Amino acid sequence: MDLILETKGLTKVYGNGTVANRRVDFGLRPGEILGLVGENGAGKSTLMKVLYGEEAPSAGRILLEGKEASFSSSQDAIAAGIGMVHQHFMLVPSLSLAENLVLGKEPKRKRSRFFDQDEAVRITEELSAKYNLKVHARARVVDVSVSMRQKLEILKVLYRGARIIILDEPTAVLTPQETEELFAELAELRRQGHTVVFISHKLDEVIALCDRVSVMRDGRLIATHEVAEVDSQTLSNEMVGREVRLKLDKTATSAGAAVLVARDLSYVDDFNITMVNHVSLTLRRGEVLGIVGVDGNGQTELVRILTGLERSLSGSLKVGGRELMGAGPGAIRRAGVAHVAEDRMTVGAALGASIQDNLLADRYSEGRFTGRFGFMKTEAMREEARSIVADFDVRCASASQSVASLSGGNMQKVVVGREFTADAEVLVVSQPTRGVDVGAIEFLHRRIIAMRDAGKAVLLVSSDLAEVMSLSDSLVVMSAGRIVAYFEDAAAVSDKELGLYMLGLKRQGEDEIRKVLHED
Amino acid sequence: MKTDTARPRRGIGRTLAMFFTDRDRLEPALVTLLAAVFAVLSGIILIFIVSKSPVLSVKNFLLAPFLRSYNFYYLLIAMVPITFAGLALCIVYQARYLTLIVDSCVYMGAVVATVVGIYLPLPAGIHPAVAMLLSGLAGGLIGLLPAILRIKWRANELVSSLMLNYVFYFLGSCVIIYFLRDRKQSILASLPFLPTFALPKLVPNTQIHAGFIVAAVFVVLVSLLIYRTKWGFEIRLVGANPRFAQYAGLSVSAVVLYAHFISGFIGGVGGAVEMAGLYKAFIWQMDPSYAWDGVIVAMLARRNPKFVPVSAFFLAYLRVGADFMSRRGDVAFEFITMLQGLIILILASDRIVNYFKARRLKAAALRDERAARDAAGQIATQGAAEAGR
């Protein structure tokens, strides 16, 4: 079969020397949905950015319908019929959906040449009906759900005449129900003759949706299969390059005494939106309490309050019986709360500083590192850094190299290595494996369980539902800043069930939710 | 199978990586050096364009310190205040703050030292030391102001420090003119310092004074502070990423405040040293503007106090050369400011400073990629075969 879009020997090297794509021979058949799977950092997004004209290839060729093509910008790619929906939406929140849709290619009134609002709405509704992607044309982007924003992004691409649509991890921000809806819509697009590239690292989704699947690993295109002829174990082996255990070994333990007691926390953000709405919970020794919820439902803010980075408007925060509300991150750390920040690039690490400085940032002033007159004990510091680097298997030439030079997984090991050796009683762990390769994910998961087994209280926040469900002993669900459900036994609840709570379609009674306080 | 190929590679990769990390430090230093050379060369070209006797002017410009011993001593003396300003700016640059308040710190330090020099009868030796301490305290407090404004009201410290420099310049002049002026002098000068105030001369019959040693001591102290003490660690951490520093439990505002205080303190000491080392009375007719010298010196030193004396020597060398040349030829002294501007322009550009690094990394990666083509192809097929099993 003829390929509508292909690459030959495509290599992409970034300015910092990272080789993101290594001689990739990628092929796309007309009218198919092709899954592109691989770990984070395998080069999927880069390959698509090259095809979409956002990045220039360092070597190799791109062929569009058999003819040599080169895109110097995404405008060129759009003109050639290639559209891309990014993981992070590119929308203007204060404008209406219709205005966003036509932005850059606006319909104009015949005589005055002014923007034709009604025509924009008509176009939006027509497209929406044609592709069965339901959106409210007149609503403002800021007021609609994430899934509707995504539909709008797809419509935007279609409006610009794309025949090939690239979707970069579209399901990352969706609930299970919304994902199913999206799949139906994509199948409709395929029926109407469009070609779709579906980037994901969730194999079950790819198998449910796609015709063929290409696997990337370490910048290389490892293999391409017909979905009907392949199983998820083969794919995951190809993704990782070795056998992976998809199940986590976890022995049951019983939770101990309460360590961190948070009551009635609230937070209102700069836009006057209530992000945390009277949230109370208790963390107990030897227990992983998982927080699930669609991103942006208050998890981030709750974590920032619990770790002292943000002030709650109400309530109290006690660690080991001591009131720490408003005490600041330093005092809360000293009280025994370690924190793996969700964003290692901006908060969890100082990229320009050395691995050693990063590892010692929370403990440099202790007596074992700082001696008389404030002089630091260089040898002790070097030794500490060396031991954490070895213990957490940080792959680096030396601890004096900058954190920026590490891969995502190793960067995260630096962050986790520091926090897990901080001798804390409470570990607040946020997005521990975001953007981390599978090998490191397995490692990090084992360390989290090991901390629980050592009697620490762990609060786990992650947008990877499977991750929270497999690691946690109990679960709470957050929706619109509130805790809407508590499950004492995380193993006893299905992802479908959680989805209903995440979407805010279901809500437990106050008595059930109150059980998370463990006040009896 | 995989481990067999992976093992020796890791060894080579490691050596390579270490080689690269060294070059990461080497190349910016090289670019800095090139910037300096480039500035000097442009200076020579400029001289050839404007001068009627270019060869003589160039010779005077480049060889001034070696043509007259006076010039050489003058160079060493000129290094002292530039070194203090450079050290002061290294500290705030380490915290990634951009303040020029050190100008006021030097100036007000000199004014405070003048008061001490005129009115405080103290034994020799102790007298200038007390002046340095008090000037340092004054400088430190002044240095705090832009930091406080930034922390409290998010006022940009560069702008507020530039404005405050005017405030303190006129405040200082006011103090000198209304309270300390020597009415018997025809020029603007303060009352004469007590004889005990003068710093001892290091070389007889020259101007080289003990302030040179004080500056050297401060170079050592500031280097130790930044790279060996916990306060320096805090300053560097805040500079590397303030959000991270806060997350790690540091009090970022406290760090910023004491960094500015120490910076201002050093500026103040620099002012006192100038007064006690060179003058018999306060005779500055205008603001000597050491802050900009400090900026150049700190940038040339790449924020590392150890290199401040080297870059201060370079700047003083340019100054002395330009001064000598202008007095014996037709090129104005001010041409030196063009060279300074050139240096700042080059060093302030990250793209230029990191140009070689980016190019090298990219080329190396592409080369490795091409060299590994066959081997990698094999591994890929093996991987696929293994996975298929």
Nearest Cα to Cα of residue B264 among B120, B136, B119, B126: B136
Verify whether the Cβ–Cβ distance B230 to A376 is below 8 Å. Answer: yes
Digit-coded pLDDT (tens) for A157-196? 999 989 999 998 888 777 778 888 899 999 999 999 999 9
CA separation for the pair A262, A324 (Å, rounded) = 10
- CA distance to partner chain B, nearest, from residue A466 (Å): 24
> Which residues of chain A have a CB within 8 Å of the CB of B245?
350, 361
CB-CB: which of A22, A329, A352 is closest to B247? A329
10-residue stretch averages of pLDDT, chain B, 389 residues long? 39 51 68 87 90 90 87 91 96 94 96 95 93 97 96 94 95 93 88 93 87 95 94 95 94 96 97 94 87 90 92 92 88 85 81 72 71 55 50
B14-38 burial, b for 16+ CB within 10 Å, e for fewer?
Answer: eeebeebbeebeebbeebbeebbee
- CA distance to partner chain B, nearest, from residue A227 (Å): 15
Is a pLDDT exceeding 50 seen at residue A245? no
Q: Is the ipTM of this complex over 0.90?
A: no
Which of the residue ranges A47-61, A112-126, A489-503 would you say has the lowest mean pLDDT?
A489-503
CA separation for the pair A48, A170 (Å, rounded) = 14
- CA distance to partner chain B, nearest, from residue A316 (Å): 20
CATH of domain A257-336+424-431+456-520: 3.40.50.300
CB-CB: which of A11, A361, A397 is closest to B14? A397
Is a pLDDT exceeding 80 seen at residue A434? no
Verify whether the Cβ–Cβ distance B364 to A17 is below 8 Å. Answer: yes
Residue B388: the pLDDT is 47
Q: Could you tell me if A9 lies within 8 Å of chain B, comparing CB atoms?
A: no
Judged by DSSP in three states, B181 sits in strand
Q: Residue B12: how many CB atoms within 10 A of its CB?
A: 9
Q: Could you tell me if A222 lies within 8 Å of chain B, comparing CB atoms?
A: yes
Residue pairs between chains A and B whose CB atoms are closer than 8 Å: 128
Report the residue of A305, A332, A365 to disrupt the B interface, i.e. the one with the largest count of B CBs within 10 Å. A365
Please answer whether residues B49 and B42 qualify as being in contact, where contact means their C-beta atoms are separated by less than 8 angstroms: no
Q: Could you tell me if A58 lies within 8 Å of chain B, comparing CB atoms?
A: yes
Residue A334: pLDDT band (50, 70, 90) is very high
* Run of H or E including A345: none
Q: Which two tokens stand for residue A6?
A: 């292909």
Verify whether the Cβ–Cβ distance B361 to A17 is below 8 Å. Answer: yes
Q: Which single residue is written with the structure tokens 């102290």?
A: B221
Stretch(es) of chain A classified as CATH 3.40.50.300: 5-240, 257-336+424-431+456-520
Q: Which residue of B has its CA nearest to A221?
A: B380
* Run of H or E including A172: none
Residue B1: the pLDDT is 35
- Mean pLDDT (whole number) for A216-226: 88
- CA distance to partner chain B, nearest, from residue A389 (Å): 15
Verify whether the Cβ–Cβ distance A223 to B248 is below 8 Å. Answer: no
> Pseudo-torsion of CA A121, A124, A126, A131, nearest 10°?
-160
Is a pLDDT exceeding 60 seen at residue A125? yes
B78 vs A13: which has the higher pLDDT: B78
The A287-292 sheet, strands edge to edge: A337-340, A426-430, A457-461, A287-292, A474-479, A482-487
Residue B381: the pLDDT is 54
Side chain identity at B117, as an amino acid letter? G
Average pLDDT, rounded, for chain A: 87
Q: Which single residue is written with the structure tokens 């110097």?
A: A72
- Mean pLDDT (whole number) for A215-226: 88
CA separation for the pair A45, A173 (Å, rounded) = 17
Please answer whether residues B237 and A353 qualify as being in contact, where contact means their C-beta atoms are separated by less than 8 angstroms: yes
- CA distance to partner chain A, nearest, from residue B245 (Å): 7
CA separation for the pair A118, A124 (Å, rounded) = 10
Nearest Cα to Cα of residue A159 among A235, A78, A230: A78
B 8-37: CB under 8 A from A: 14, 17-18, 21
Verify whether the Cβ–Cβ distance A23 to B228 is below 8 Å. Answer: no
- CA distance to partner chain A, nearest, from residue B365 (Å): 6
Please answer whether residues B200 and B209 qualify as being in contact, where contact means their C-beta atoms are separated by less than 8 angstroms: yes
CB-CB: which of A13, A376, A405 is closest to B365? A13
Which of the residue ranges A275-279, A463-467, B303-307 would you say has the lowest mean pLDDT?
A463-467
> Which residues of chain B have a CB within 8 Å of the CB of A330?
249-251
Q: Which two tokens stand for residue A380?
A: 């002790």
Nearest Cα to Cα of residue B89 among B305, B316, B331, B326: B305
A239 vs B97: which has the higher pLDDT: B97
Please answer whether residues B308 and B94 qualify as being in contact, where contact means their C-beta atoms are separated by less than 8 angstroms: no
> Pseudo-torsion of CA A16, A22, A25, A27, nearest 10°?
-50
- CA distance to partner chain A, nearest, from residue B124 (Å): 30
CB-CB: which of A376, A397, A401 is closest to B229? A376
Residue A241: the pLDDT is 64
- The CA-atom distances, in angstroms, between B145 and each of B150, B151, B168, B284 are 9, 10, 12, 24
**Phi and psi for B188 in degrees, rounded to 5?**
-75, 115
Q: What is the DSSP string of A424-473?
A: -SEEEEESTTTT--HHHHHHHHHHHHHHHHTT-EEEEE-S-HHHHHHH-S
Q: Could you tell me if B358 lies within 8 Å of chain A, comparing CB atoms?
A: yes
Q: Residue B187: how many CB atoms within 10 A of its CB?
A: 7
> Which residues of chain A have a CB within 8 Å of the CB of B17?
397, 401
Residue A249: the pLDDT is 67
Residue A240: the pLDDT is 67
CA separation for the pair A389, B364 (Å, rounded) = 27
Report the residue of B244, B258, B367, B370 to disrupt the A interface, i.e. the one with the largest count of A CBs within 10 Å. B244
Verify whether the Cβ–Cβ distance A348 to B244 is below 8 Å. Answer: yes
**Phi and psi for A225 in degrees, rounded to 5?**
-130, 155
Digit-coded pLDDT (tens) for A382-432? 999 999 999 998 888 788 888 887 777 888 999 999 999 999 999 999 999
Q: Could you tell me if A56 lies within 8 Å of chain B, comparing CB atoms?
A: no
Verify whether the Cβ–Cβ distance B233 to A364 is below 8 Å. Answer: yes
Q: Which residue of B has its CA nearest to A9?
A: B373
Q: Could you tell me if B236 lies within 8 Å of chain A, comparing CB atoms?
A: yes
> Which residues of chain A have a CB within 8 Å of the CB of B251?
328, 330
**So what's the architecture of A5-240 in CATH?**
3-Layer(aba) Sandwich (3.40)
Q: Which two tokens stand for residue B301?
A: 């030193």
Percentage of chain A beyond pLDDT 70 is: 96
CA separation for the pair A199, B176 (Å, rounded) = 73
- The CA-atom distances, in angstroms, between A245 and each of A98, A249, A490, B167 are 46, 9, 20, 69
- The CA-atom distances, in angstroms, between B55 and each of A288, B47, B62, B173, B328 are 79, 9, 11, 42, 12
Q: Could you tell me if A327 lies within 8 Å of chain B, comparing CB atoms?
A: no
CA separation for the pair A24, A9 (Å, rounded) = 5
- CA distance to partner chain A, nearest, from residue B388 (Å): 7
Please answer whether residues A131 and A123 qualify as being in contact, where contact means their C-beta atoms are separated by less than 8 angstroms: no
> Pseudo-torsion of CA B154, B157, B159, B162, nearest 10°?
150
A 154-193: CB under 8 A from B: none
Q: Which two tokens stand for residue A310?
A: 């943000």
Residue B378: the pLDDT is 52
Residue B313: the pLDDT is 94
DSSP letter assigned to residue A404 = G
- Mean pLDDT (whole number) for A16-27: 82
CA separation for the pair A30, A44 (Å, rounded) = 20
- CA distance to partner chain A, nearest, from residue B14 (Å): 6
Residue B22: the pLDDT is 58
CATH class of the structural domain B42-333: mainly alpha
- Mean pLDDT (whole number) for A152-159: 92
Report domain extents, chain B: 42-333
Verify whether the Cβ–Cβ distance A241 to B249 is below 8 Å. Answer: no
Please answer whether residues A477 and A498 qualify as being in contact, where contact means their C-beta atoms are separated by less than 8 angstroms: yes
Q: Which residue of B has its CA nearest to A331?
A: B249
> Which residues of chain B have a CB within 8 Å of the CB of A14?
362
Q: Residue A272: how many CB atoms within 10 A of its CB?
A: 6
Q: Which two tokens stand for residue A164?
A: 């090939």
Report the residue of A8, A22, A421 to disrupt the B interface, i.e. the one with the largest count of B CBs within 10 Å. A22
- Alpha-carbon Rg of chain B, whole angstroms? 26
Q: Could you tell me if A373 lies within 8 Å of chain B, comparing CB atoms?
A: yes
Give me the half-sphere count of Cα atoms (radius 13 Å) on the Cβ side of residue B215.
31
DSSP letter assigned to residue A370 = B
